[in-house]
Amino acid sequence: MEKLVAKIDSIFRQALKGAEVAQTWPTDPEGGKIVLTVLWNGFEDLDSLERQEMLWKILRRKLTKKEQSEVAAVFTETSAEKAALEQ
């Protein structure tokens, strides 16, 4: 699982300049499907659906079907959204 998370991190960092990727779940490399959060200010003018369509289009081009099946969810946020949540 760690290899797949690293691969996804690399994919998003190349496709979305300045993006940060954090594994949200599972914290145990042996268990469960992957849940990630992508922090990127380029999401600012996009709604949730547009963000998801963008990210999954990238993943479908770069991951095998098996790898895709290991990803449960990808959350998105901008720096401003993250700061607001942390208050």
pTM comes to 0.86
Q: What is the residue-averaged pLDDT of the chain?
A: 91
Q: What is the mean pLDDT of residues 49-75?
A: 96
Question: How many structural domains are present in the chain?
Answer: 1
Nearest CA to 35 among 11, 58, 1?
1
Which pLDDT tens digit goes with each residue over 21-61? 998 776 556 667 899 999 999 999 999 999 999 999 999 99
- Could you tell me the CATH number of the domain that includes residue 45? 3.30.300.90
Residue numbers of the domain that contains 7:
2-86
Question: CA-to-CA distance for 47 and 33, rounded, in angstroms?
Answer: 25
